[in-house]
């Protein structure tokens, strides 16, 4: 098990607080995999080897230029925890497809309504045209 001070040196951080911040950022990942534990004697956190691997991957992403939030999102995508966001090109293509589909669907619905109106008996058509009695 590795303490914050151990993680500071393993990850090449300046302070133990930076290590704590990294743990906090991916706490849900660490806890769900059983990589994080609390030392009851001093209310300290400790991480096992699996947790160190996740923290290293997170730190590599931060060193590559991502901020902590971006690095956490990238890590979660890699681990299959979340779906990757759609890129702008995919959104544009989806919008074009939707813009094509909506008018066609609207025309189809109008046609169905007209067909249903034609099927009503003549007295049904007149009933809606007459003023309502009091």
* Tens digits of residue pLDDT in 59-118: 999 999 999 999 999 999 999 888 888 788 888 888 889 988 998 899 999 999 888 877
- Note the pTM of the prediction, 2 decimals: 0.62
Chain length of the chain: 134
C-alpha 100/C-alpha 2 separation (Å) is 57
pLDDT at 27: 93
Please tell me whether residues 117 and 74 are part of one structural domain. no
Please check whether residue 134 lies inside any domain of the structure. Answer: no
Please tell me whether residues 14 and 70 are part of one structural domain. yes
Please tell me whether residues 53 and 103 are part of one structural domain. no
Please tell me whether residues 17 and 59 are part of one structural domain. yes
**Which residues fall within 8 angstroms of residue 41, CB to CB, at 6 or more apart?**
none
pLDDT at 45: 83
Provide the 8-state DSSP code for 14.
S
Check: CB of residue 35 under 8 Å from CB of residue 47.
yes
Q: What number of other Cβ atoms are within 10 A of residue 11's Cβ?
A: 19
In angstroms, the Cα distances linking 37 to 10, 23, 26, 41, 68 are 18, 11, 13, 12, 22
Please tell me whether residues 39 and 72 are part of one structural domain. yes
Domain closes at, from 36, 53, 78: 78
Structural domains of the chain, count? 2
- 131 sits in which H/E element: none
Please tell me whether residues 10 and 31 are part of one structural domain. yes
Please tell me whether residues 11 and 73 are part of one structural domain. yes
C-alpha 30/C-alpha 42 separation (Å) is 20
pLDDT at 40: 60
- pLDDT tens for each residue of 47-62: 999 999 999 999 999 9
Please check whether residue 83 lies inside any domain of the structure. Answer: no
Please tell me whether residues 53 and 102 are part of one structural domain. no
User: What are the backbone angles phi and psi of residue 118, rounded to the nearest 5°?
Assistant: -70, -25
Cα-based angle 7, 13, 14 (whole degrees, multiple of 5): 120
């Amino acid at each position: 098990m590795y303490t914050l001070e151990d993680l500071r040196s393993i990850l090449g951080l300046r302070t133990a607080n930076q290590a704590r911040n990294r743990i906090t950022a991916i706490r849900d990942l660490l806890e769900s995999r059983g990589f994080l534990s609390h030392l009851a004697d001093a209310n300290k956190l400790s991480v096992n080897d699996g947790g160190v691997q996740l923290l290293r991957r997170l730190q590599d992403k931060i060193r590559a230029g991502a901020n902590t939030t971006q690095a956490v999102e990238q890590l979660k995508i890699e681990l299959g925890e979340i779906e990757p966001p759609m890129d702008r090109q995919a959104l544009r293509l989806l919008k074009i497809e939707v813009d094509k589909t909506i008018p066609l669907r609207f025309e189809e619905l109008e046609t169905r309504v007209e067909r249903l109106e034609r099927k009503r008996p003549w007295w049904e058509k007149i009933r809606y045209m007459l003023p309502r009695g009091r």
